Amino acid sequence: DAGITQSPRYKITETGRQVTLMCHQTWSHSYMFWYRQDLGHGLRLIYYSAAADITDKGEVPDGYVVSRSKTENFPLTLESATRSQTSVYFCASSADRRDTEAFFGQGTRLTVV
């Protein structure tokens, strides 16, 4: 299907476990982003990627790892999940130019117990 999709939609994991959230887009957008959304905060940028094999930290990168071996995929890994990482995670993509629209996935609700 065309668009940007995230998986899983919901995930419950235990403290200390590694978990990977997947993001796939079909537009060949250069830029991809990972955000987290928590009550009382606007969306906060975790990591972004300007192209395949190019990634950079955002506002809240600690505890997260990303990779981008292919343009269409941008997985986010929590190396050792903590309760403070319980959140809703959104992936987004946009074309090269900064004035183009960013498209968001439907989100992954992660609960760390």
Partner 1 sequence: KNQVEQSPQSLIILEGKNCTLQCNYTVSPFSNLRWYKQDTGRGPVSLTIMTFSENTKSNGRYTATLDADTKQSSLHITASQLSDSASYICVVTLNNAGNMLTFGGGTRLMVKP
What residue ranges bind partner 1 (CB under 8 A)?
A: 31, 33, 35, 40-45, 48, 50, 56, 58, 90, 92, 94, 98-99, 101-107
Cβ at position 102, least distance to partner 1 in Å: 7
CA 42-48-52 angle, 5° bins: 160
Cβ at position 48, least distance to partner 1 in Å: 6
Of the pair 66, 105, the CB lying nearest partner 1 is at 105
Amino acid at 38: D
Spatial CA neighbour of 111 closest among 17, 22, 12, 27: 12
Of the pair 45, 65, the CB lying nearest partner 1 is at 45
What does the block give as tokens for 102? Answer: 């960013």
Cβ at position 92, least distance to partner 1 in Å: 8
User: What CA–CA distances, in Å, run from 83 to 70, 80, 95, 111?
Assistant: 30, 10, 34, 8
Of the pair 17, 57, the CB lying nearest partner 1 is at 57
